[in-house]
Amino acid sequence: MAADGAAEVFRRRGHAVVVGASLAGLRAAETLREEGFTGTLTMIGDEPRDPYDRPPLSKQVLLGRVPADGTELPRRRALDARWRLGVAAAGLDLAGRRVRLADGEEVAFDRLLIATGARARPWFRESEAALDGVFVLRTADDAARLTRRLAAGPRRVLVVGAGFTGSEIASACRERGLEVTVAERGPAPLVGALGGVVGAVAARLQRDHGVDLRCGVTVTALEGDLAGRLRRAHLSDGAALDVDVAVIGLGAIRNTEWLTGSGLAAGPRGVACDAGCRAFDVHGIVTDDVFVAGDVARSPHPLFGYQFLSLEHWGNAVAQAEVAAHNMISSGLDRRPHLWLPAFWSAQFGVNVKSVGVPPLGDELVVTQGALAENRFVAAYGFQGRFIAAVAFDQGRWLDFYRGLIESAAPFPPAFTNLDRRTDGTRPVPADFPDPSLPTHGPTVTLSGYSPSERRLRFTPAPA
């Protein structure tokens, strides 16, 4: 009962601090209020802007259809919060329950939510990264700068790395009529996220749209002129390209440096937390008053062998923020697990890409609907005889069905016939991930229920 009492006291007059004022932080704060939190609320964010949406930055914003400062997130409700924007959190005193800000201010909390997200991984050589013409794309300011430069009509754009962000940037460049070279270390675009079979489709899409796609190469150096402007890029195969814009799309780094020495289990891969979003300390003991959500969180997912997953997905940020906020003001059995099934989308080269589940866990793949050759298909991924993921190109409306198959651990390959008879009898092929670090035999876990309060998990231990 003591714990219940504490949660109730906190709900009524506690002080909640949310560090990170982007999607996860905002949605968590709104959920706190929505669920009856009447205490004081402080929002801390390092960017001097109101919370904004990032997915449009690499799409509509780069195309000039939406201004870079025009993607402010819609508000679900009034927050009645104290905002500390434009100042980063610099440290955490766990014992004293205080967040230290970069300007020296200290903010006390009763409960803390960490939602500091991630930032773009910069080009590895600082002097080259500083050249005029070298960009990353993560923030609205990044997008404003890059859009301005693209609008000026550079002769050739180099995109370093063909992940989702890199591919979307290349797509926007082509739509603007710009010459673009994509350099990708792997054998195909998106190969790390979707595997080689689907990656080959992405490669064909890029080339069909006029991208100079070069796989199996790395960029070894960026070269500037005397005025410090980017002029040339050197590739590992000896080629040199004249470029005046290079966009670095080498993934993201989690913003955990401010937690160094705090005693939390925070590192380059994120802040570890339990499925209820409570942070672990360095001993692996779960904390009571510190919660984590969004890109910066690493939490175990029962459906995927209890692996700690870090998900840089928009939907994950929202769902995890809602669970974290709910659990901040709940106790005991009222707390919920974050059982969100990973899902994300992308738009590139006129194709809508959607994914559900965790494709990189897949060892085999079957095209269940449509055809790879038409760039319109659903590819289902199997892992040890069950559904683990599905990826759709321009077929996103079917994915809810596959979500159900993944949640119920349905047998793979699928035994059913469906509407698209062309794919009947297709045999599974290797999904062709570059590094198939597959987990070993574990328990079978399935999800059931629909509304957040009734989501339940069934655990079937593996035979000894």
Partner 1 sequence: MTQATLLQQILDYANRADPYPLYAELRRTPVTRQEGGVYAVSTYWEITGLLHDPRISSDARNRAPQAGAGPLPVVPQEETDLPPSFIGLDPPEHDRLRRLAMRPFGPPHTPRRVHDMRAELTRTVSGLIDAFQGRSEVDIVDDFAYPFPVTVICRLLGVPREDEARFHIWAEAVVAALDPDPVEGAPDRARAARRARSELGLYLAGLAEERRRAPGDDLLSAMTSGHGPEERLSPVEVVTTAVLLLIAGHETTVNLIANGVLTLLRHPEELKRLRDEPGLAVPLVEELLRYEPPVQLLPQRTAVADIDIAGTTIPRGAPIWLVVASGSRDPRRFADPDRFLPERPDNQHLGFGGGVHYCFGAPLARLEAQIALTELARRLGEPRLVEDPPPYRRNPVLRGPRHLRVAFDTLAR
* 94: Cα separation from own chain's centroid: 27
Torsion of CA 163, 164, 169, 171, to 10 degrees: 110
Q: Count Cβ neighbours within 10 Å for each residue of 385-410 and write b for 16 or more, e otherwise.
A: eebbbbbbbbbbebbeebbebbbebb
- Please state, as a whole number, how many other Cβ atoms lie within 10 Å of the Cβ of residue 241: 17
The site for partner 1 (CB under 8 A) is made up of 350, 368-370, 374, 376, 378, 395, 397-401, 404, 416-420, 422, 450-451
Which is closer to partner 1, CB of 416 or CB of 459? 416
CB of 420 to partner 1, least distance (A): 5
Euclidean distance between CA atoms 358 and 407, whole angstroms: 12
Minimum separation from the CB atom of position 249 to partner 1 (A): 24
CB of 356 to partner 1, least distance (A): 11
Q: Are 402 and 380 in contact (CB under 8 A)?
A: yes
The least distance separating partner 1 from the CB of residue 394, rounded to whole angstroms, comes to 8
Q: Residue 420 half-sphere exposure, CB side, CA atoms within 13 Å?
A: 14
> In whole angstroms, what is the distance from residue 238 CA to residue 458 CA?
55
Strands (E) across 255-325 are located at 266-267, 270-272, 278-280, 286-292, 297-301, 307-309
> Do residues 254 and 261 lie in contact, with contact meaning Cβ atoms separated by under 8 Å?
no
Judged by beta carbon, residue 56 or residue 192, the one nearer partner 1 is 56
Judged by beta carbon, residue 138 or residue 403, the one nearer partner 1 is 403
Residue closer to partner 1 (CB basis): 12 or 422: 422
- Min. distance of Cβ 419 from partner 1 in angstroms? 4
Of the candidates 316, 325, 315, the one whose C-alpha atom is nearest the C-alpha of residue 34 is 325
Of residues 72 and 400, the one with the C-beta less far from partner 1: 400
- Closest separation in Å from C-beta 269 to partner 1: 33
Give the rounded distance of the alpha carbon of 177 from its chain centre. 29
- Bond before 55 cis per omega within 30 degrees: no
Whether residue 286 contacts residue 279, with contact meaning beta carbons closer than 8 Å, is answered with: yes
Whether 157 and 181 have beta carbons less than 8 Å apart is answered as: yes
Beta strands in 161-261 (DSSP E): 179-184, 212-215, 219-224, 230-235, 240-242, 245-248, 252-254
For the chain, give the longest Cα–Cα distance: 70
Residue closer to partner 1 by CB (options 287, 369) is 369
Q: Which is nearer to partner 1, 93 or 374 (CB)?
A: 374
Read off the amino acid at residue 13.
R
Which CB, 222 or 321, lies closer to partner 1?
A: 321
Q: Supply the minimum distance, in Å, between the C-beta of residue 150 and partner 1.
A: 20
Q: With the CA atoms of 376, 249, 297 and 108 taken in that order, what torsion angle do they form, in degrees rounded to the nearest 10?
A: -140
Q: Which is nearer to partner 1, 308 or 401 (CB)?
A: 401
Nearer to partner 1, 21 or 399 (CB): 399
Nearer to partner 1, 181 or 368 (CB): 368
Distances (CA, A) of 264 to 21, 38, 238, 324: 21, 28, 45, 17
Q: How far apart are CB 447 and partner 1 at their closest, in Å?
A: 13
Dihedral through CA 95, CA 100, CA 105, CA 110, nearest 10?
-50
Strand partners, 376: 371
- Residue labelled with tokens 């270390």: 185
Q: What is the DSSP string of 68-80?
A: TT--BPPPSS---
